[in-house]
Amino acid sequence: MIGNEWIILGMIGGFLSMMIIGIPVAISLAVSGFVAGYIGFGPMLFNLMPARLYGVVTNYTLLAIPLFVFMGVMLEKSRVAEDMLETIGKAMGGVNGGMGLAIILVGVLMGASTGIVGATVVTVGLLTLPVLMRRGYHPSVACGTICASGTLGQIIPPSLVLILLSDIVGESVGTLFAAAFIPGLVLAVIYILYLLILGIIKPDLVPAIPKEERALTSRSQLIKDLLRNVCPPLLLVVAVLGSIVGGVAAPTEAASMGALGAILLAVSMNRLNWTLLQEALHGTLTISAMVFFILLCAQPFSLAFRGLGGEQVVHGFFEMLPGGELGAIIFLMVLLFILGFFLEWIEISYIALPMFLPIFSSYGTDMVWLAILVAMNLQMSFLTPPFGWALFFLKGVVPPGISIKDIYLGALPFVALQLCALLLLFNFPSIATWLPKAIGW
């Protein structure tokens, strides 16, 4: 009789092996889970499967995912991001690294309005990379800035990562949104400081927009552009997030109002038409289906893992680690960082994290703080070679002359900056916990 510990190791090894040979993640999860569960218990283990699948598709909180996705896709397709980027770029262009600062600020606004890394990276890459190259930016710096700005949507609410983590750790979406707000802004400030310092030390890498070009736009026109192109999406973000964090609306209700607000913005700009609506709905369907398919296929894996006693195996392993709770958190952070080189954040969230949560519950760890640590760690998976998705998104739209090497080298300094932000959050938990406590969550 094969011991359950060996079946669990075989299940994890089988999943990783199928991933390596190119089998889609969702299929790898389902197959490895079904095979291991059948070997351990036979078909009886999966009598609970229909109830678990039904629980995923009827989860009221997860309904916010397609609504937030629609909001983001609609803002991207209606070129709201394009207008914001052009306006903020003109406003910041007189500073060395000013266009880079504009990209980071647009990344914050896009992250707070879309939460979709691919949409932000592709949009900003298409709009700014040729312009940055013409203005003398170093290719690696330009590529790294664009990729990093796109990943801000994974930590700044309303992030899909935070919505899924709220379901995993058992905290409300509003609490995690409030907890992630300050860490997300801290990370953006770190990016901005890096670009400003780079502009002082090596101005030739990030030159300012020439004075003659800036003179073409008057100050009054720039103010009008800011009011027309930046304020409306900013007000939409404040209304959606404020209603959630303030307890006025549930995440799903706020997401539905955000989706409606995105449609009204497109109407106010006279850009809403049948083609735009079709593209937005198609993009929403594609992204949402991908997320939910992985969630459904993760259920056999997690059911088999728990049924075979995987939590006890993990608990025994953690007992061997030195340092107690602190050592366990450090180990989890290192493990998630390594997994981020090879796996997507959804698989990491629904495979690795549930294995370890009972351990941290027994330690009495603050789950809100832990969830934000995990979210910021998972954010790095979009930038870490060789499989960082932000890098692949940008590679698909770069102009000729920019290689994958430029993209990888450009991402590395921002990975280091993210590690600095993670260390800050690790050493000062109040960065994440202060705001939820201040507003009474």
- pLDDT tens digits for 261-280? 889 988 988 888 899 999 88
Placement of tokens 């997300």 in the chain: 184
- Do the domain assignments include residue 69? yes
Q: What is the pLDDT of residue 441?
A: 63
Cα–Cα distance for residue pair 13/34, rounded to 1 Å: 14
Q: Inform me whether the pLDDT recorded for 235 exceeds 80.
A: yes
pLDDT band at 394 (very low <50, low <70, confident <90, very high): confident
Distance of CA 350 to CAs 171, 302, 346, Å? 15, 8, 6
Q: Is 420 exposed, middle or buried (0-12, 13-18, 19+ CB in 10 A)?
A: middle
SS3 181: helix
The 3-state secondary structure of 368-414, one letter per residue: HHHHHHHHHHHHHCCCCCCCCHHHHHHHCCCCCCCCHHHHHHHHHHH
Q: Inform me whether the pLDDT recorded for 210 exceeds 80.
A: no
Cα–Cα distance for residue pair 388/333, rounded to 1 Å: 17
| Token reading at 178 | 């409030």
> Is the model more confident about 209 or about 167?
167
- Do the domain assignments include residue 6? no
367 near 169, Cβ under 8 Å? Answer: yes
- Do the domain assignments include residue 175? yes
Q: Inform me whether the pLDDT recorded for 207 exceeds 60.
A: yes
Q: Inform me whether the pLDDT recorded for 40 exceeds 90.
A: no
- pLDDT tens digits for 14-35? 887 887 787 877 788 889 888 9
97 near 206, Cβ under 8 Å? Answer: yes
- Do the domain assignments include residue 14? no
Q: What is the pLDDT of residue 113?
A: 64
Which residue range(s) make up the domain with 108?
Answer: 52-438
Q: Inform me whether the pLDDT recorded for 116 exceeds 70.
A: no
- pLDDT tens digits for 136-152? 888 899 889 988 888 88
Cα–Cα distance for residue pair 7/5, rounded to 1 Å: 5
- Do the domain assignments include residue 64? yes
| Token reading at 102 | 């504009």
pLDDT band at 314 (very low <50, low <70, confident <90, very high): low
- Least confidently predicted of 46-50, 81-85, 283-287, 323-327: 81-85
Q: Inform me whether the pLDDT recorded for 119 exceeds 70.
A: no
Q: What is the pLDDT of residue 342?
A: 64
Distance of CA 226 to CAs 86, 90, 109, 124, 241, Å? 10, 10, 13, 18, 21
Q: What is the pLDDT of residue 423?
A: 94
Q: What is the pLDDT of residue 420?
A: 94
Mean pLDDT of the chain: 81
Amino acid present at 296: L
Q: Inform me whether the pLDDT recorded for 2 exceeds 70.
A: no
Distance of CA 403 to CAs 150, 388, 395, Å? 19, 15, 8
**What dihedral do alpha carbons 197, 199, 202, 206 form, nearest 10°?**
140
Cα–Cα distance for residue pair 80/74, rounded to 1 Å: 9
pLDDT-above-70 percentage for the chain: 90
- Do the domain assignments include residue 38? no
pTM of this prediction? 0.79
Amino acid present at 153: G
Cα–Cα distance for residue pair 432/428, rounded to 1 Å: 8
pLDDT-above-90 percentage for the chain: 13
Q: What is the pLDDT of residue 187?
A: 94
> Is the model more confident about 134 or about 74?
74
Residues 63-83, mean pLDDT to the nearest whole number: 79
- Do the domain assignments include residue 416? yes
- pLDDT tens digits for 89-108? 777 767 788 888 888 888 88
How many structural domains comprise the chain?
1
SS3 312: helix
pLDDT band at 1 (very low <50, low <70, confident <90, very high): very low
- Do the domain assignments include residue 22? no
Amino acid present at 367: M
